[in-house]
Amino acid sequence: MHELAKPLAALLLELSYMEGEFTLTSGRKSSYYFDGKQTALHPEGAWLIGNIFCDMLQDADVKGVGGMTLGADPLVSAVTVVSHIRKPPLPGFIIRKKAKGHGSNQFIEGMKNFSPGDRVALLEDVVTTGGTLATSIQRVEDAGLVVAKVLCVLDREEGGSENLAELGYPLHSIFTRSSLLAAGGR
């Protein structure tokens, strides 16, 4: 386990993990909800996530990071800032859910920082089925970039990792639900 995982687990359990009855993006019902943005938008949470993701990308040979708005926005920002300090700097991009509809009508913002064929990593806060990441992968590849690594803060352990692996993209998570609960002493 990463040395920063324990303090991150404490913050995630305090700010992002809720038990109750919830409907997920996938439409599934769940007895818990994980809102990663609450921790990723916290100063310490952003610093912890940015550092852990930078360590996970250390040997990945990627030019930058990106992800689907809104869940990945603070993750991308955290990694770009931390990577600027730690080196090498990794620029970011954000994938829109719908094309802009005006101007350049693009799905991806931040492409001026990249060239066709650049290898990138996709970031996500929580993965259930992997559907959002599958859409992200398609849009990034359609834009001419190569998805070299896929990272998330929490893998709910509900098939997303397996679905992405079938597409040829192994999922690398900071936590699974079970490891998060264990790290937090639950």
Cα(156)–Cα(133) distance, rounded to whole angstroms? 14
Dig out the tokens for 172 from the structure. Answer: 């690398």
Residue that wins the pLDDT comparison between 45 and 185 = 45
Is the per-residue pLDDT at 89 higher than 70?
yes
pLDDT at 98: 84
pLDDT at 100: 67
Residue that wins the pLDDT comparison between 97 and 148 = 148
Q: What are 26-75's pLDDT values in tens digits?
A: 788 999 999 999 999 999 999 999 999 999 999 999 999 999 999 999 99
**101: confidence class by pLDDT, cuts 50, 70, 90:** low
pLDDT at 184: 83
CA dihedral angle for residue 87, residue 69, residue 126, residue 55, rounded to 10 degrees: 0
Cα distances (angstroms) measured from residue 177 to each of 49, 84, 105, 108, 182: 16, 30, 37, 30, 9
Q: Residues near 111 by Cβ (< 8 Å), separated by ≥ 6?
A: 93, 143
**185: confidence class by pLDDT, cuts 50, 70, 90:** confident
Q: What are 158-175's pLDDT values in tens digits?
A: 999 999 999 999 999 999
Q: What are 102-146's pLDDT values in tens digits?
A: 666 689 999 999 999 999 999 999 999 999 999 999 999 999 999
Q: What is 3-68 written as a DSSP string?
A: TTHHHHHHHHHHHTEEEEEEE-TTS-EEEEEE-HHHHHTSHHHHHHHHHHHHHHTTTS--SEEEEE
- Fold category of 5-183 in CATH: Rossmann fold (3.40.50)
pLDDT at 104: 65
